[in-house]
A and B are shown apart, each in its own frame.
Chain A
Amino acid sequence: MSDIITVNASGLSCPQPVMLTKKALSGLEHGHVEILVDTATSRNNVSRFANNKGWNVEVNERDEGGYKLILTK
């Protein structure tokens, strides 16, 4: 329950960030998953996918560039 799953999808072309997110979320009823992405497009795509699956998404800009998306349910 307290385990945090982190997925680094930075730099990957569409649709791989969403595919990795889907893989990370599959079978999870609830939890805390962090997805790293580098572009606004991937940020939006992953957020939309997670929202559609009923996950809350918190977007954080990273100091080194890109975004950390915190998915919770």
Chain B
Amino acid sequence: MDKSLTSKNGPLIAGGLIGLIAVALAHFGNPGNMGFCVACFTRDIAGALGFHRAGVVQYIRPEIPGFILGSFLSALFFREYSPRGGSSPAVRFGLGMFAMLGALVFLGCPWRAYLRVSGGDWNALYGVAGLIVGIFIGIVFLWKGFSLGASEKNPKAAGLIMPLIAVSLLALLFLAPKFGENAPVFFSEKGPGSQHAPALMALAAGLIVGWLAQRSRFCTVGAIRDFLMMGDGYLLKGIISFMIVAFCANYALGMFKPGFEGQPVAHSNQTWNFLGMVLSGLAFTLAGGCPGRQLIMAGEGDSDAGIFVLGMIAGAAVAHNFSAASSGAGIGAYGMHVTIAGLVFCVFVGIFCREKGE
């Protein structure tokens, strides 16, 4: 199996399996077209911890710690655990924050954008188009010499921080302690946060996907980046099989519902569906990979990816505390403002962060 996952068809195999698992999770209780959504799930975790108080999106999604721990165990087993960090961490925190804000204007990370299309949500086509444009802008910066600088080898223990955070999150999920009246841990009683597959099933799914993605390097942003930049379709095969398998599974389970209106956890403001994902695509490209990939790298010991993930948690708090997140009713009051601010931030980073001598 490992030989297949690390072969030239590795992303193809991993993508298909991840697509199947995603639809299964939605079938067993996750919100519609949300078998996996790294942005939404991280946002739900931020809510469960009380970093924001949007009552309908608070739940410790075990898929996220599952990704980190699945990757961590896989990296340990295959001797690829390699603690490293120090490549412009504060910039990466900002990129994580704005990637999250863009995703919450659109209502989904790239994983969910593809899953929404596979479920017939045509609003997501605008999001995918925005994602491609955002990635292309990031490529232009890369061509012009953009770099956040090299990371360095870290002490072995430094790479354990994100796996320890993942274990702590699972403890908070399964023990469900209450830290006072009107204090976390919060679990939504209605809305998307209340819809979830059984926790152990979701954790198992997360662990399996963490392993699959660690071995195959599955990346929903790198796929488009490598294809546009160098005509390399290696990772692209991963998202194509991801979408095809998800579509087939959705169709077989009666979950394929084509159209623009009435789609689950989605809105039809196409301008901001597009621009939200331009922001996300650009931020992910500047940071070197999609949010799932950042979790996987964090599990491998990459502290810079870990900082990006912590930035995403902060972005979720900003999105809901400052009325910037969208909902099924439309975009938030300040959704446009944060998207524009994020684009300005990313363009600034893209222009001014470069290696010496470039």
Contacts and interface: CB of A to CB of B under 8 A. Distances in A.
A45 B288 CA distance: 13
Interface in A45-68: 45, 48-49, 52, 64-65
B84 A16 contact: no
Interface size class of A (residues with CB under 8 A): 20 to 34
B234 interface: yes
Contact of B222 (A14, A48, A49): A14
A31 interface: no
Contact of A14 (B150, B153, B289): B289
Nearest to A43: B80
B148 interface: yes
Contact of A38 (B82, B226, B234): B82
A13 B146 CA distance: 11
Contacts of B84: 11, 38-39
Given A11-B152, A49-B232, A16 B80 contact: no
Contacts of A49: 230, 232
Interface string A3-29: 000000011111110110010000000
Interface string B209-246: 00000000101001001100110101000000000000
Given A38-B84, A44-B217, A49-B232, A15 B151 contact: no
Contacts of B230: 15, 18, 22, 49
A35 B85 CA distance: 20
B217 A16 contact: no
Given A12-B150, A13-B87, 16 more contacts: A11-B84, A11-B87, A11-B152, A12-B87, A13-B147, A13-B148, A14-B222, A14-B288, A19-B142, A38-B84, A39-B82, A40-B82, A44-B6, A45-B217, A49-B232, A65-B153
Interface of B: 6, 8, 80, 82, 84, 86-87, 142, 147-153, 217, 219, 222, 225-226, 229-230, 232, 234, 287-289, 300, 304
